[in-house]
Structure 1
Amino acid sequence: MSKEKKETTQTPSVEECGIYLLMDEISDSTCKDVITFIISKNLVKPYPKYLQLIINSTGGDLQAAFALIDTMKGSAIPVHTVGLGCVASAAVLIFIAGVKGKRVLTPNTSILSHQYSWGTYGKEHELIATTREYELTTQRMLNHYKKCTGLTEKKIREHLLPPQDIWLSATQAKKLGICDSIKTVY
């Protein structure tokens, strides 16, 4: 009697396929995980053709977001982005950092863009230093939006960073250069 060998095929994980799901608030911890994913993929050859970062996040820590953005931009492997559900605040900055032409929003995705908020306390010289950091960070945000959307600073301040929160549909986001296409994925 011969034993038949049963072949089992294991489905690879999404991360093994070069896909990372960022579905949480933007924090040092969540960005560290994505940064580790991108760096680890860059250390193993042959490289995948591209990495895909799927984002559903209400935003969070802007400094953590910029750490991830710098990693995405420094990756030898192009990072494509997909927005699902809600892409808000700092998550928008991460989303638009994806490779131009490969930034996709699903039809029902909501986008929230606004000026960033923060609170501080301390001695006068500490408040002055913190205010300077606020100004520098605002300029970093504006430069990032300009580079990724092609909008002028005036248009960005008017449509994406006015004093109030701005909610956009996927269609409105596309018109402002936030995404390159709108489609259902998978």
Structure 2
Amino acid sequence: METSMTTTMNTPDSPAPASVPEPRTASYLEEKAFKTRTLLVFGTVTDAMAADVTRRLIALDADGDQPIHLLVSSPGGHLESGDAIHDIVRFIAAPVNMIGTGWVGSAATHLYLAVPRARRYCLPNTRFLIHQPSGGAGGPATNIAIQAREMVKARERIAATIARETGKSLEAVLTDIEHDRWLSAEEAVDYGLVSRIIERKSELG
């Protein structure tokens, strides 16, 4: 995760982005995905991604109250961008099904936890990563002190969200996120991040 003062969540390097489809193909695929009420959160979480995803969530919410399916495969990224998606998911009226695939790490885990546990699914090979925010503080000593305090606040906020949504104690979560904590799909279910591992769309709900 990353805050506005360059706090980041340390994650392995992301794979190179796939080639961008031709405009006509992209438009067709977007239209089909919209009709099936399916959105993708793939790649690094950025402010541009958050703006795009939240705009689509609001549009789908206005279009009807049927469930929205949000597929997540992301190493994380900017903390406040993850916050924006997390909060809009909770803000809209339409229910959202979170479906983890590939890997769900850091800020992506935070936005994944925006829905009740019963609506949190993942595919069999999904891996999850939880850890504390980290980053480089710079500038005058007074600014460094301010940035350090904000990083501690972010750590406590992330831990509180994980504790609330998994049923773990805050103390246990703070210990767990002290270092990278990787979880397989089965381990994520045991931890309380995921309600159920699915293999087919028909298993949703």
TM-score range, shorter chain: 0.7 to 0.9
Aligned to 2:189: 174
Q: Per-residue CA shift, 1:111-140, capped at 9, x if unaligned?
A: 111112111201122112212211221121
| Structure label with greater radius of gyration | 1
Shift of 1:35: 0.6
1:67 lines up with 2:84 in the alignment: yes
Q: In 1, are the aligned partners of 2:86 and 2:113 still within 8 Å (CA)?
A: no
Shift of 1:157: 2.2
Aligned to 2:44: 25
Q: Per-residue CA shift, 1:96-123, capped at 9, x if unaligned?
A: 2123201001111111111121112011
Identity within the alignment, %: 26
Structure 1 counterpart of 2:157, one-letter code: R
Q: In 2, are the aligned partners of 1:81 and 1:99 still within 8 Å (CA)?
A: no
1:53 lines up with 2:67 in the alignment: no
Structure 1 counterpart of 2:94, one-letter code: I
Aligned to 1:185: 200
Aligned to 1:145: 162
Tell me the SS of whatever aligns to 2:33: coil
Equivalent-residue separation in structure 2 for 1:15 and 1:41 (angstroms): 8
Structure 1 counterpart of 2:49, one-letter code: T
Q: In 1, are the aligned partners of 2:90 and 2:114 still within 8 Å (CA)?
A: yes
Q: How is 1:79-98 mapped onto 2 (pairs within 5 angstroms)? A: 79-98=96-115
Higher share in helix: 2
Q: 1:120 aligns with which of 123, 126, 137?
A: 137
Q: In 1, are the aligned partners of 2:42 and 2:73 still within 8 Å (CA)?
A: yes
Tell me the SS of whatever aligns to 1:36: helix
Equivalent-residue separation in structure 1 for 2:175 and 2:192 (angstroms): 14
TM-score of the aligned structures, taking structure 1 as reference length: 0.87
Equivalent-residue separation in structure 2 for 1:158 and 1:177 (angstroms): 16
Tell me the SS of whatever aligns to 2:117: coil
* CA-based RMSD: 1.7
TM-score of the aligned structures, taking structure 2 as reference length: 0.79
Q: In 1, are the aligned partners of 2:116 and 2:165 still within 8 Å (CA)?
A: no
Equivalent-residue separation in structure 2 for 1:139 and 1:131 (angstroms): 13
Structure 2 unpaired stretches of 5+: 1-27
Shift of 1:88: 1.0
Equivalent-residue separation in structure 1 for 2:133 and 2:114 (angstroms): 18
Structure 1 unpaired stretches of 5+: 1-9
Q: In 2, are the aligned partners of 1:148 and 1:178 still within 8 Å (CA)?
A: yes
Equivalent-residue separation in structure 2 for 1:184 and 1:59 (angstroms): 24
